[in-house]
């Protein structure tokens, strides 16, 4: 009889073992994870891209560097969230729309680390520079699918409504390997770009190949030039890998807001809109057509307009990309803001270079077109300001 | 012609078992040498083995197989059945004071067949033995004590397996000896061997990782740095109190020159370890522990992803709770045990922020083990592990059951 109980006990253990393992965190508590509704085939490709993005570490033998910033994608994007000053990028060499004058001296990006035996780059004399924090990856597929016309409709270059906010797209040239979207708008051969702190990158394919090349020193069929020798070399990563990583980024879920029905969160959102933070941080955008049903014609809440805004002299680092002015920055999407510390080492590093260590500090560093909203925020009572902060932390 | 060969082969296959089969009574267990007290350093030879008749060759080995069901933050690979390894030992007494031992390990999951140890020992004096061949470097105690059936846990300690390389062997020579008097024993080991290479800071683990050098089979032929890896250990044992060992392993690891061309400065790796084991006789509780520190010269123009300091260790507490005739096995033992582990893969602070670099793991592994005899163990473990990334973000939580069997044969 005792033996029977032992056998029953062992069977019960085998059957119930998964109950004794850590449960998955709720979807609104983490940034990473795929968008709901992928087909089996899409889920498989997402998994392949995930393995390359989070699992592949480059070494000297697999093409790392020899000068580089990071050894893997995940080094900069822990948990698909915002980065940490450890992996901050430094860009240099461009001060206006005439282009980067230091491309022949290693621009636009500083590879500040090197394999043993090599020396990392230094910023050339006379070049201005800015530091860029790695952005969060979540929801990028949604942002990629916002039609150009919708972005253009939010632009108000002459501030015709008089709210102090203009906002312009970054019209920029695109590399030959990038295929413009079917609904793309053009102006003098330039396209509306939307990714990067200066909105100078057209789509996730350009962003991904550029990051492999400039961040890790990995060449591909799209970016065949080695960052160290400046010579064209054999591809160090395959087009299949690039495609899978791009698909992975496109199909990451959008951050899920928490406590939406909480009274303080709701009040904070009303105040946020009331003082016109939403003039740039648009609460709602819509995707266009996509072959991925989960992304096709979806309304989502990124809290950005994907436009460039003059943020004032305090945030003017004297460096730019594309046709942005040095004081202009793309409106940072605020979704995922409350979960940012979970990928930044349990602390905040906000704004383009991580100089702000809290949401309040980031707000106080706003200037230029955001000056009116900042002043309105400061005119609120302490309780009202706290409601806005609570709302922002729910995103 | 081909048909004749085929018939001949079939004939041999058909009839050879009848003539080649070994009479099992010829195989006899080699009794352990209890005439001399043993220390950790004796682990390679102090294993059960079988001898065929009066041949001066002993055979032995062990096998390890597991079932596990682990999950990390809600994601599980489900039921996993693992054949971890099969090890074979062959030892031979060439003459009275010259002996040879080899250990060959098969790890199918890693598609690897490795000679882990193959060395000749020549005793000139109990305090002066020469060992040469492929040697297991005596850093800490686990490296020489890695046999699965010795442990109540299905997995090797993280610090001993992933931080210090386990079964870390190299070609080389050295000396060892023991002195004992009454209840005290003093042992030493000193070896010069081949060693590490650049892979310890250039690997797909994205961290300083000494075991990466195990993937370099060229180390048995050519030392990357051209300089010896020095390994030394001093151990002191009192039969009532226990044994403590202090060990060091270090040398230049990088390929700093090639064909006379200077490629880099010489860069060192230095490892320090302390190990201990004791038996609390009043409660019959066995405590085993080990702690190690690693210092690596990493270029300051490289990434801090690869740390220049590591530390970690483990402690096992094993408590027999039943020793009796269990299910017909005489002298069978039921143990409860617990392993506590910690490894900090990157001790230091970020240059950019001054904040602490995390990249650490800790684990608690309660266990129940059943030993029907001293050579066989059935063990059920529950692993609880928390692992933080470089930035110190909320840890990945892993937990689950592992059941395993391991036995000498």
Question: Is the separation of the CB atoms in A352 and A197 below 8 Å?
Answer: yes
Residue A105 contacts residue A129 (beta carbons within 8 Å): no
Q: Do B73 and A86 touch (CB under 8 A)?
A: no
The pair phi, psi for residue A101, each rounded to 5°, is: -90, 0
Got the DSSP string for B170-183?
Answer: EEEEEEEEEEEETT
Domains of chain B: 22-408 (2.40.160.10)
Q: For residue A48, how far is the Cα from the chain centroid?
A: 20
Separation CA A315–CA B161 (nearest Å)? 49
How far A55 CA lies from chain B's nearest CA (Å)?
9
Supply the DSSP symbol for A16.
H
DSSP A195: B
**Model ipTM?**
0.91
Judge contact between A217 and A61, C-beta under 8 A: no
Half-sphere exposure of A125 (CA within 13 A, CB side): 0
- Distance, in Å, from the CA atom of B232 to the CA atom of B234, rounded to the nearest integer, reads 7
Q: Over its length of 395 residues, how does chain A's per-residue pLDDT go in tens digits?
A: 565 666 676 666 666 667 789 999 999 999 999 999 999 999 999 999 999 999 999 999 999 999 999 999 999 999 999 999 999 999 999 999 999 999 999 999 999 999 999 999 999 999 999 999 999 999 999 999 999 999 999 999 999 999 999 999 999 999 999 999 999 999 999 999 999 999 999 999 999 999 999 999 999 999 999 999 999 999 999 999 999 999 999 999 999 999 999 999 999 999 999 999 999 999 999 999 999 999 999 999 999 999 999 999 999 999 999 999 999 999 999 999 999 999 999 999 999 999 999 999 999 999 999 999 999 999 999 999 999 999 999 99
pLDDT tens per residue across span B179-206: 999 899 999 999 999 999 999 999 999 9
Fold of A263-394: Cytochrome Bc1 Complex; Chain D, domain 2 (1.10.760)
Among B76, B198, B206, beta carbon nearest to A116: B198
Nearest C-alpha of chain A: how many angstroms from B291?
Answer: 27
Helix residue ranges per DSSP H, chain A: 2-16, 40-50, 73-76, 140-144, 148-154, 204-211, 239-250, 263-274, 359-364, 371-379, 382-394
Chain A nearest-CA distance from B193, in A, is: 24
Q: Indicate the average pLDDT of chain B.
A: 90
Query: Under an 8 A CB cutoff, do A22 and B267 touch?
Result: no
DSSP character for A114? E
> Torsion angle of alpha carbons B393, B395, B396, B401, nearest 10°?
180
Number of A/B CB contacts below 8 angstroms equals 115
Mutate to test the interface with A, among B73, B206, B268, B296 (most CBs of A within 10 A): B206
Continuous segment of H or E residues that includes residue B59: strand B57-72
């Amino acid at each position: 009889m005792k033996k029977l109980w032992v056998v029953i006990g062992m069977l019960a253990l085998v059957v119930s073992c998964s109950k004794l393992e850590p449960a998955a965190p709720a979807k609104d508590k983490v940034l990473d994870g795929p968008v709901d509704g992928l087909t089996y085939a899409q889920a498989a490709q997402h998994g392949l891209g995930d393995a390359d993005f989070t699992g592949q570490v480059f070494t000297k033998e697999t093409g790392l560097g020899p000068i580089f910033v990071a050894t893997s994608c995940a080094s900069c994007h822990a948990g698909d969230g915002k980065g940490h000053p450890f992996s901050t990028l430094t860009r240099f060499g461009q001060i206006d729309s005439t282009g980067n004058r230091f491309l022949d001296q290693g621009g636009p990006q500083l590879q500040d680390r090197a394999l043993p035996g090599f020396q990392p780059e230094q910023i050339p004399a006379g070049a201005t520079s800015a530091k860029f924090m790695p952005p969060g990856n979540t929801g990028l597929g949604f942002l990629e699918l916002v039609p150009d016309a919708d972005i253009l409709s939010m632009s108000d270059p002459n501030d015709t409504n008089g709210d102090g906010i203009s906002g312009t797209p970054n019209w920029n040239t695109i590399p030959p390997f990038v295929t413009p979207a079917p609904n793309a708008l053009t102006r003098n051969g330039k396209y509306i770009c939307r990714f990067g702190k200066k909105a100078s990158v057209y789509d996730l394919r350009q962003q991904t190949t550029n990051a492999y090349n400039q961040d890790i020193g990995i060449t591909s069929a799209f970016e065949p030039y080695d960052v160290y020798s400046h010579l064209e070399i054999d591809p160090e990563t395959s087009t299949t890998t690039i495609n899978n990583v791009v698909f992975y980024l496109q199909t990451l879920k959008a951050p899920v807001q928490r406590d939406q029905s909480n009274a303080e969160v709701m009040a904070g959102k009303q105040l946020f809109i009331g003082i016109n933070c939403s003039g740039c941080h648009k609460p709602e955008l819509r995707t266009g057509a996509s072959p991925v049903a989960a992304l096709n014609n979806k309304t989502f809440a990124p809290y950005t307009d994907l436009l460039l805004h003059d943020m004032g002299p305090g945030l003017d680092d004297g460096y730019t990309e594309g046709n942005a002015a040095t004081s202009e920055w793309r409106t940072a999407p605020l979704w995922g803001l409350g979960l940012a510390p979970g990928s930044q080492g349990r602390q905040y590093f906000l704004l383009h270079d991580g100089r702000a260590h809290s949401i309040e500090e980031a707000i106080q560093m706003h200037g230029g077109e955001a000056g009116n909203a900042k002043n309105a925020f400061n005119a609120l009572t302490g309780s009202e300001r706290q409601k806005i902060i609570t709302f922002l932390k729910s995103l | 012609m081909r048909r004749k060969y085929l018939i001949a082969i079939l004939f041999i296959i058909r009839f050879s078992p009848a003539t080649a089969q070994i009479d099992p009574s010829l195989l006899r267990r080699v009794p352990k040498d209890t005439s001399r007290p043993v220390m950790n350093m004796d682990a390679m030879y102090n294993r059960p083995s079988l001898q065929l008749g009066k041949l001066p060759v002993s055979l032995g080995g062990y096998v390890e197989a597991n079932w596990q069901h682990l999950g990390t933050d809600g994601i599980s690979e489900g039921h996993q059945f693992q054949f971890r390894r099969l090890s074979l030992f062959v030892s031979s007494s060439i003459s009275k004071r010259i002996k040879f031992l080899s250990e060959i390990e098969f790890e199918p999951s890693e598609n690897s067949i490795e000679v882990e140890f193959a060395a000749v020992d020549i005793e000139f004096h109990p305090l002066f033995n020469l060992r040469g061949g492929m040697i297991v470097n005596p850093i800490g105690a686990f490296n020489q004590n890695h046999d699965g059936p010795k442990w109540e846990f299905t997995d090797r300690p993280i610090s001993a397996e992933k931080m210090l390389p386990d079964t870390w062997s190299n070609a080389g020579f050295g000396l060892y000896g023991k002195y004992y008097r009454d209840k005290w024993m003093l042992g030493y080991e000193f070896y010069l061997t081949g060693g590490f290479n650049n892979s310890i800071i250039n690997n797909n683990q994205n961290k300083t990782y000494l075991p990466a050098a195990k993937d370099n089979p060229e180390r048995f032929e050519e030392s990357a740095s051209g300089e010896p890896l020095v390994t030394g250990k001093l151990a002191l044992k009192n039969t009532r109190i226990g044994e403590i060992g202090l060990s060091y392993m270090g040398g230049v690891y990088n390929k700093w020159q090639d064909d006379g061309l200077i490629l880099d400065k010489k860069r060192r790796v230095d490892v320090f370890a302390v190990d201990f084991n004791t038996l609390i006789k009043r409660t019959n509780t066995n405590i085993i522990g080990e702690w190690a520190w690693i210092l690596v010269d990493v270029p300051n123009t490289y990434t801090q992803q690869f740390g220049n300091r590591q530390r970690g260790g483990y402690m096992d507490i094993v408590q027999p709770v039943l020793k009796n005739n269990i299910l017909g096995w005489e002298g069978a033992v039921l143990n409860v045990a617990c392993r506590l582990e910690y490894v900090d893969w990157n001790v230091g602070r970020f240059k950019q922020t001054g904040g602490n670099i995390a990249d650490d793991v800790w684990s608690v592994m309660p266990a129940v083990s059943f030993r029907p005899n001293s050579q066989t163990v059935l063990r059920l473990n529950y692993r609880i592990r928390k692992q933080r990334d470089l930035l110190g973000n909320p840890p990945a939580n892993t937990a689950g059951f592992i059941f395993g069997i391991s036995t000498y044969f």
